[in-house]
Amino acid sequence: METNKVTNFRVAQKQHQQKLRQGILDDASSLLVQEGPNALTMRRIADTVGCSTTVLYTMFSNKQGLIDELYLRGCDILRQSLEAVSHPGNLKNYIYALCLAYRGFALGNQTYYSIMFLKVIPEYTPSEAYLKLGQESLELLVQAIRDSITGEQEVEDKAWEIARVIWATVHGHIGLELMGYFNYSGVLPQQMLERALQALINELLPTIDKDQ
């Protein structure tokens, strides 16, 4: 059957392209991690992969499209970092641990964190859809907050609202820390974050763990 041969070829082609695509993203990813966002240029990616820049443009349209994929990888890593947190039964401690895991993700994957939540690459600004995907990586935190305000009205909206307040706080501590503003400050950044979190959880989730 001629058509079978053709479709077989087509399938092989598709698979090859998929592998190439993943290979490119792997190389771009290690470039990002090992040498920072500044090293993430189309030419360097092409050199690392061993192809011309043309391939990158036919495959991802432009730099924005390529980095979009790295953004998604960052979302995965963040989600997995939160999933790795064991639920200690105590909701307060759990929320606490989720926030510290978020910080762990940020410090352990500074370059991913930077392209997701800071504007370090002039050519890249996450689209509205991707901003939403980024937020949704925090689902576990939102769920924990949902659990801790169960019984109240408009749990869904309130949970997201509180999550965003906590998120912003954690983000702010990380942002200033990464900029270097907390070097030589006497107190460890983590301790400062913990103090802020304690205050926020106490005030925003006053009914939490009262039955434990």
Partner DNA sequence: TATTGATAATAACGCTGTTATGGAAACTAA
Partner DNA sequence: TTAGTTTCCATAACAGCGTTATTATCAATA
> In whole angstroms, what is the distance from residue 38 CA to residue 137 CA?
25
Among 15, 18, 52, 150, binds DNA (CB under 7 A): 52
93 in contact with DNA (CB under 7 A) = no
Neighbours of 99 (CB within 10 A): 25
C-beta separation of 98 from 142 below 8 A: no
Whole-Å CA distances, 164 to 9, 110, 190, 197:
49, 21, 19, 13
Among 21, 23, 33, 41, binds DNA (CB under 7 A): 41
The length of the chain in residues reads: 212
Q: Which does 211 bind (CB under 5 to 8 A by kind): DNA, its own copies, none?
A: none
170 in contact with its own copies (CB under 8 A) = yes
Owner of token pair 């301790």: 191
43 in contact with DNA (CB under 7 A) = yes
Rg (CA), the chain: 21
Nearer Cβ to DNA (4/183):
4
Among 21, 23, 42, 77, binds DNA (CB under 7 A): 42
DSSP class per residue in 31-61: HHHHH-GGG--HHHHHHHHTS-HHHHHHHHS
Tell me how far, at minimum, the Cβ of 111 lies from DNA, in Å.
15
Q: Which does 133 bind (CB under 5 to 8 A by kind): its own copies, DNA, none?
A: none
Which tokens hold the place of 68? 């979009």
188 in contact with its own copies (CB under 8 A) = no
Nearer Cβ to its own copies (135/143):
135
Nearer Cβ to its own copies (17/185):
185
Residues 6+ apart with CB under 8 A from 61: none
Interface residues toward DNA, by CB under 7 A = 6, 9, 13, 20, 40-44, 51-55, 57-58, 62-64, 123
